[in-house]
Amino acid sequence: MDTNNFCQSCSMPLDNPEMHGTERDGSPSKEYCDYCYQNGSFTSQMTLGEMTSIAKTEMEKQHLPSELIDKAVNVLPHLKRWEVKAAELIHQS
């Protein structure tokens, strides 16, 4: 799955410019959605497990196909926000 057009935190598609989060200077983020990222920082601090649970629950509320939900949840660990945290944990060991 090409993750370039998806939020690098929650995997939401970023095909609508209004869905993009904002950088500190107010410009649109190229990597994160409005739910995850505003004014140059993440809207909440959470673990990958918490994000997985939230993403799955929100997609289930929309009655999306289970295959799509599984695909979106399985890509989360490979997104920039979570890859960086994994690399930091490995470095701290």
Model confidence, pTM:
0.81
User: What pLDDT does 1 receive?
Assistant: 46
Tokens of 61: 């509320």
Tens-digit pLDDT string for the chain (93 aa)? 455 689 999 999 999 999 999 999 999 999 999 999 999 999 999 999 999 999 999 999 999 999 999 999 999 999 999 987 655 555 555
SS3 (DSSP) at 47 = coil
- What pLDDT, on the 0 to 100 scale, is given for residue 87? 54
69 to 17, 73, 85, 86: CA distances (angstroms): 23, 6, 23, 23
Domain extents for the chain?
17-92
Whether 21 and 32 have beta carbons less than 8 Å apart is answered as: yes
The b/e string for 50-72 (b: 16+ C-beta within 10 A; e otherwise) is ebbeebbeebeeeeeeeeebeeb
